[in-house]
Amino acid sequence: MNALISVSNKESIVNFAKSITESGHSLISTGGTWATIQDAHLPVKQVSEITKYKEILDGRVKTLHPNIHGGILAKRDYKTHVSQLEELGIEFIDIVVVNLYPFVETVSSPNVSLSEGLENIDIGGPAMLRAAAKNFTDVIVVVDPCDYDWIGNKLINGELINLDERKKLARKAFQHVALYDTAIATWLDNGNLFKASEITVGFNKIEELRYGENPHQTGAVFANILGDGGIVKSEQLHGMPMSYTNYLDADSALTTVNSFSETACVVVKHTNPCGIAIDDDQVIAFQKAFNGDSVSAYGGIVGFNKKLEESTAMAMKGILFDIIIAPSYEPQALIILQKRKRTRVLKAHLPYGPLSHINIKSISGGALIQTNNDIDEDMKTWQIVSERSPTDKEMIDLIFAWRCLKHIKSNTIVLAKDNELVGMGAGQPNRLVSIHLALKIAADKSNDAALSSDAFMPFPDNIDIANTGGIKSIIQPGGSIRDSEVIKRANDFNMAMVFTGVRHFNH
C-alpha cells in the first residue's frame, strides 16, 4: 500500500505522514515535501524512484507519468486494470495527499511579474487530485489539512474510510482545483469578463452565520479568492458577531460614504442611506447625516470615510447604532466606542482586485453580472433646460443631491440642502410616492432644497408635487417623451432644471 504526499502547505504534514506510516502505507513524495518528511526520520521514497525518471524542466514535470497516474486511476475491481499494472510493474497508490502551489498568495503580492505568477501555476498537483478524486471509491484523496487528524486516527485504528466520507473528500478536492483554476482565469482576465462565453467566480468561506435574512434561512459569508478589502475583509474591533443583514447594511454604508472624497458621513437603514452629509468638520458631517432622518437612524449603521475622531465618538453618545464603520480610529475614539455593548465597530476599506468593479446578483436559474455604477460623470455635458439657470448655491445642492441618489433604491428621489440629505423617497413603484415621502421626511427643510431623480420625470405632476414643498431646483436625467411638458411646468414655477443625460437606477 502506497501513499503519495506532495504539499505546498506543510502544516501538520509530518504528524499526518507518521499516521499513514503507522497504518502500514509506504510514503512517496516530491521535492520540499520529501525533504520535510525525511528530516522527520520517516521512510520515504522520491517520486523519481517510482517513475524511474528524474524531474525535468526545473521541476515542471515530475509526477506526470504512467507509474503515478496508473497507480492512482486503476480500478481495483477491474481484472484488466489489475493485470495491466502487474504486467507493467506499477504499484497501486491508495492515498493521495496534495495541496497546490501558492498561486493566490503569489499574485496577491504587489508588483508580481507575469513570469512569477505563471511559475506558481501548479500542473502536476491538480492532475493527481483530479485522478484520485475521480477514483475516490478506491483512493483516499486529501487536500485540506483540517482532515489530517480524523483520517489519521481512522487509519491507525484500522477503520475504513466509508464511501460517504470518500465522496466528501473527492468533492473537496474537485472544488479545490476548480477554485484554483478560477483564480488563475480571473488573474489572466484583464477586464475581459464580459467578452467571455464562460465564467466561474471563486469564493472562500469566511464564516457560517447564525441564519440568513430570516431565522428559517441558512447563511454564510464568502470572500473573493483574489483581491482584498470590502466589508467581507473588514476587521471587527468590537461588538457582537455580524449577521446576514448586518453585512448587507454595512456594505451599503461602506460603498456610499467612500464615493465622496470630502469628509463624509452616511447613516444607513435597511440598505438605504437615510442620511448623507459632507463637511470639513467630521462632527458636523455626522450631525447633519443623523438629522437627515433621525427617526430612521435609530439602530442603523453609520459610516465614515476618514479616521473617526474622538470628538465624533463623543458626539455619537446616547445614539444607538448597530454598526460603526471607518477606515481607522483615533485611540480615544475607539475606547469610547468599545463601551457600547451591542454595537459592532468595523475597520474597513473599499475592495480592490480583479472583481472589485463587478456586481453579481443571483436570479432564478442563474445570475446577472454588470460593472459597478461608478461612472465618472462630466458635468460639462449637463444641460440647463429651464428658462432660469440655477444659482451658484442651487448648483452646489444639485450636484450633492445627484451624487447621493445612486446609492438609494429606485425609484429614488433625494432632497438636499447645504451638503446634507434632508429627505429621500426610495424603493417605490411610483415616482410620485417617492416625492411625497421625501417631502414628508424633509418637512420644513424641503423649502428651497434641491431635488434629484434617478430617472426621468415622466409627467408634469412630479413638478406640481415638488412645488408644494418649496423646491426651487431639480436635477434629473431627462429623456421622457413629455420632457417639454415637464420643462414648461418647471418654468411656470420659476424652477431651475438640469438634465444630466445619465440614469442611476439601483434595483
φ, ψ for residue 25 (rounded to 5)? -90, 145
Sign, CA dihedral 208-209-214-215, equals positive
Find how far residue 221's CA is from the centre of its chain. 9
Containing 498, the helix (H) or strand (E) segment is: strand 496-499
| Residue for grid cell 468533492 | 171
Question: CA angle 463-469-470, nearest 5°?
Answer: 85
Q: Which of 169, 120, 179 is nearest to 144 (CA)?
A: 169
Please state, as a whole number, how many other Cβ atoms lie within 10 Å of the Cβ of residue 364: 4
CB 140 within 8 A of CB 161: yes
Q: Which amino acid is at 181?
A: D
Q: CA end-to-end span of the chain, whole Å?
A: 59
CB 474 within 8 A of CB 349: no
Query: Which residues are designated catalytic?
Result: 134, 270
User: CA-CA distance, 321 to 337, in Å (whole number)?
Assistant: 10
Beta strand pairing call for 300-304 and 264-269: antiparallel
44: left (phi over 0), alpha (psi -120 to 50) or beta: beta
CA distance 447 to 469: 6
